[in-house]
Structure 1
Amino acid sequence: MKILFIDLTTSLESFQDLENKGRGGMVSSLYILPNVLSQLGHECYVMSDAKSCGETINGVRWINESQYDWLDKQSFDFMVLNRQLYGDAFSWIKSKHRVLWVHDMVHGGWITKPEIAKMLSATVFMSQYSVETWKAYYKTIGRHFVIPNGVDKELFKPLNKTTTSMIYFSAPNRGLEYLPMIFHSVKEKIPDVSCIAFSNMKSLHPNESGESDKFEWIYQLVRDSGIVLHDVIDQKSLSTFIGASGLMIKPSDYAETCSNSTLQSLSCGTPVITSKVGADKEWVQDKYNGRICDHILNDGPLFILEMCRAIIDTLSNDREHERMIKNAPKTKNLFTWQEIGEKWNRMLNRVY
C-alpha cells in the first residue's frame, strides 16, 4: 500500500537528526514506524516540517512543503495524521483512507472541527487510557484500534546493574523539580544511592522552546542536589545508562498515553517507580516490575512520601528488587517495533 504520514510539528533540521539526537517519543516513532512498514512491503512517505529531506535506508521518502506540487498529483491508499487533523485533514491530498494516530492526552486542539473527523476511516490509540479519555471528551470516536509504541529490544536490554543507581530521562515537566527532594530523602536511608538525569525541554521539544527558560531554575536545583544532570542524548548511548540503572524514577503528574521512557526502562530490566496518572499502570504492575504510587502530585507531600518509601523499600530488599529486575523485560504488552509493524499491517488491511 502507498502510505503518507504527516507531521508538521517536528522542528527538525533534517530527518536524519533522529538517528543521532534525542527527541520526544512522538517524533521518534514517526521515524521508526514508516521504516518498519516499508520493510513489510509498503511504499511509505513522511511529509514534515523538516528543512532537509531525503530517503531513509529502508526507502522511506521524507518530503516537505517544497514538494506540495508533487503531492497534488499523487494518490495514496492511507494518510496517517500524526497527533492532529491540521484543520481540514489535508482534504486537497487524495487518499482513500485517513487515519488519526493519537499520541497525547485528549485536547480540543487536535480536532478543531469535529465534522472533519467524519473523514477518518479509523483512529489509532496507544492505550486503553487514551481510548477512555477520548470517549469521555467526544461523543464518539468512531472505529478505533489500540496499538502502543514498540521498543528496540536488541538495543534496550538489561546490562550489569548498579542496583542503587536511579535514572530519570524525560522532559522537565514530567516531575524533574521533585527529583532533588526525593533523592535527598532516599539518600538519608541509603547513603550509596546515586541518580542521573537526562532532561532538556529545548532539545526534546524545540517547538515548545519558548517555555524552556522557565526550567532553568529547575536544572540548577537538580545540579545543586548532587544529581548528575545531562542534556538528552541519542538512543544508543541512552540505552547503556538505562540498562545499567537499578530503578527508573518518574515523579510525574503528566498524563502520558504511552511513555517510551517506561517501555524502554522495562525492556532494560529496570523497574519503574511511577504513579497511577496516565497509562503507565497498563504496563507497570505494583511489586511485579515496579511500583505504582496511589497518590498523585496534587496530593502534595503524600505523593513525595509514598514515592520515597517505594524507592527505599525496593532498594532495601535485594530479593524483591532482583525479582522486579527479572520480571521487567517479561512485561505484558511490551512489543518490539517489528511486532508493532505487524499490528499496523493487520489494521491497514482490515480498514482497506
Structure 2
Amino acid sequence: MRILLLTGLAPLLDNRIAGAAVVDRLRHYRNFCEVRAVSPVNIVSSDILGRFSQRFSRYPPKKLLIEDDLEIDYPRYFLVPRDKPIERIVRTISMRLRPDVIITHWGPTGWGACSAATKMGVPHVQFFHGSDIHDLRFKNHRSHEKTKSLIQASDICFFVSEGLKKLSESKYGTARNSFVSPNGINTEIFRVLPEQRQKEPGVTIGYIGRFEPIKGVDNLPGVFDRIRKARNDIPIKFVLVGEGSLRKSVERQLQSSGISHVSIGFVDQKRLAEVMNDLDVLLVPSRNEGWGSVILESIACGTPVVATKVGGTPEAIGNSYNGILVEPGNSFLDRFAQAAIELLENPREPEILAQYASQFSWANIVGREMRIMKETLAID
C-alpha cells in the first residue's frame, strides 16, 4: 500500500518537536507501507516575509531529513486561499506516487487534499487533532462550510478523542465513517527514569506546552501562588517548558508576585522526558484540549496530572489514580491549586502510572489505524 500524507502539523526550524504526533505515525507507517510526507508552506510567510521577520523564518527548506530514511517535503505555494494550490500539489505528487490512499492531518490542509482525492478517485482519510474543530480562527462561515464538506466527503475521519468526535458531530454533522484514534506516545523515550526521580528535598511542579490563551496559561501565576502559600512548609520549584505569545506575560506576573521559577524553551523529546521525570505534578489548565498528549507522556514518566475537565482530557487521564480533573467555573484557581496539593500529599507509584500509559504505544495506535483503513477502504 502506498500512502501520500499531507500535514499542517510538522517540525519547524525553531521547534523540531512540532507535529511530533504526525512524525511518530510516519515512523510506524513504514512498517506497513510506502509513505510520502508533505507539509505545504505558503511562500509569502516562509520565504518573502522570512527575510524581514524572524517570526516567518521558522519554516524548513523544501526538504527536511527527520532521520536516516524519513523525510518531509515542504513544497511552497503562493496563492490564498490555500485550497487550489494544495489541490495542485496533491495531483502533481500523485501522478508519480500513485497512492492507494491520501491521508491529511489538520483540517484546513484537508480542504484542498480531499478535493483532489475525490477528483482522482483515491480514498481520503482525514485526522482531526483539536484546534481544527474548536479553534476560534475557524469559526467564520466560510471555514465552517469547508470543514463540514471535508468531514462529509472524506472516506474516513479519525478524531483524537471521543470528546472531539462528539463536538464535531454537534457542529458539522456525522462523518461517513468516523473513528476515535488518540495520539500515542513513544514508550522508548517517555518512561520512568529511576535515576532522574531520585530528587532533592522539596517538590517540583510544572507546566509543559504552548503559551497560548487556549491552554489556560494565564491561570498559572494564580495557581502557583496558591500552592506556594498553602504549602510554605516545603521547598517548591516551579518549572515552565514551552513557547508562545503569553510566555513573557506569564513570566512577568510570576516575577511581580515574587514566585521563583525555572523557564525552559522548546526541548527535544528526550529532554522533555527527563523534565517530566523530575516533576511531582504536571499542570494542564487548558480551556479546551482535543486529546492532551502531554498528559499521557507525563503519566508514562510516572508523574500524575491535574487537568481541566474539557475535551479529551478525561479520556487521556483515564482514572483518578493517574490524576485529578477540575471542572471549569467559579473558584477555578482555588480548586485547581487544591488538586495539585492533594497529589503532592498523596504521591502515586510511578510504575503503576507507566503501566497504564503503555497501552497507548505508537505500535498499538498505528496498528489499529492501519487495520481500520484496510478493512473500511478494502485495501490490501
- TM-score over 0.5 (shorter chain): yes
Matches within 5 A, 1:80-91: 80-86=103-109, 87-89=111-113, 91=115
Q: Distance in 2 between matches of 1:148 and 1:287?
A: 20
* Partner residue, 2:338: 309
2:54 is matched with which residue? none
Distance 2:168 2:249 in 1: 35
2:251 matched residue in structure 1: 219
Give 3-state SS (helix, strand or coil) of 2:107's partner: coil
Equivalent of 1:270 in 303, 311, 325: 303
Deviation at 1:241, TM superposition (A): 0.8
Does the 8 Å contact 2:10/2:20 carry over to 1?
Answer: no
1:288 is the counterpart of 2:312: no
Which secondary structure state, in structure 2, belongs to the residue aligned with residue 273 of structure 1?
strand
Which amino acid letter does the alignment assign opposite residue 322 of structure 1?
Answer: R
Is 1:98 the counterpart of 2:120? The answer is no
Q: CA deviation at 1:57?
A: 4.1
Change (3 A) 1:197 1:116: closer
Q: Which moved more, 1:91-100 or 1:325-334?
A: 325-334
Aligned to 2:285: 251
Matches within 5 A, 1:152-231: 152-159=186-193, 160-162=197-199, 164-173=203-212, 174-191=215-232, 192-201=235-244, 212=245, 215-224=247-256, 225-231=259-265
CA 1:283 to 1:331, structure 2 compared with 1: closer, same or farther past 3 Å?
Answer: farther
RMSD (CA atoms): 2.6
Q: Per-residue deviation at 1:233?
A: 1.0
Q: Kindly tell me: are residues 200 and 57 of structure 1, through their superposed partners in 2, closer, same or farther at Cα, counting changes over 3 Å? A: closer
Q: Residues 69-118 of structure 1, C-alpha deviation per residue, up to 9 Å, x if partnerless?
A: 85152321111111115434353454621001010152453761644544
How far, CA to CA, are the matches of 2:243 and 2:66 in structure 1?
A: 27
SS in 1 for 2:280: strand
Superposed displacement of residue 190, structure 1: 2.1
- CA change 1:338–1:178 in 2 (3 A) is same
d(CA) in 2 for partners of 1:88, 1:36: 26
User: What amino acid is the match of 1:31?
Assistant: V
Closer, same or farther: CA 308–115 of 1 in aligned 2, 3 Å: closer
TM-score between the two structures when normalised by the length of structure 1: 0.82
State the shift of 1:314 in Å.
2.3
Contact 1:285 1:292 survives alignment (8 Å): no
Using CA pairs below 8 Å that are at least 6 residues apart, which structure has the higher relative contact order? Answer: 1
- Assess if the C-alpha contact under 8 Å between 1:44 and 1:61 holds in 2: no
Asked if residue 351 in structure 1 is aligned to residue 376 in structure 2, the reply is yes
**Per-residue deviation at 1:287?**
3.5
- Structure 1 unmatched runs, 5+: 202-211
For residue 58 of structure 1, report the CA deviation from its aligned partner: 6.3
Q: Given the alignment, which residue of 16, 33, 36 partners 2:25?
A: 33
Contact 1:45 1:60 in 2 (8 A): no
Aligned length: 323
| SS of equivalent residue, structure 2 residue 184 | coil
Would the aligned equivalents of 1:79 and 1:95 in 2 still touch at CA under 8 Å?
no
- Classify the secondary structure of the residue corresponding to 1:155: coil
How far apart are residue 332 of structure 1 and its match? 6.4
1:216 shift after superposition: 2.9
The change in CA–CA distance for 1:336 and 1:110 in structure 2 (over 3 A counts) is farther
Q: Does 1:71 align with 2:93?
A: yes
Of 60-69 and 222-231, the range deviating more from structure 2:
60-69
Cα distance between partner residues in 1 of 2:351 and 2:332: 27
Q: In the alignment, what sits opposite 1:131?
A: 165
**What amino acid is the match of 2:276?**
I
**What amino acid is the match of 1:337?**
W
Shift of 1:339: 1.4
C-alpha distance 47-125 of structure 1, shift in aligned 2 (>3 A): same
TM-score, normalised with respect to structure 2: 0.77
Aligned position for 1:207? none
**CA distance 1:327–1:275, change in 2 (3 Å):** farther
Aligned to 1:337: 362
Cα distance, 1:235 vs structure 2: 1.0
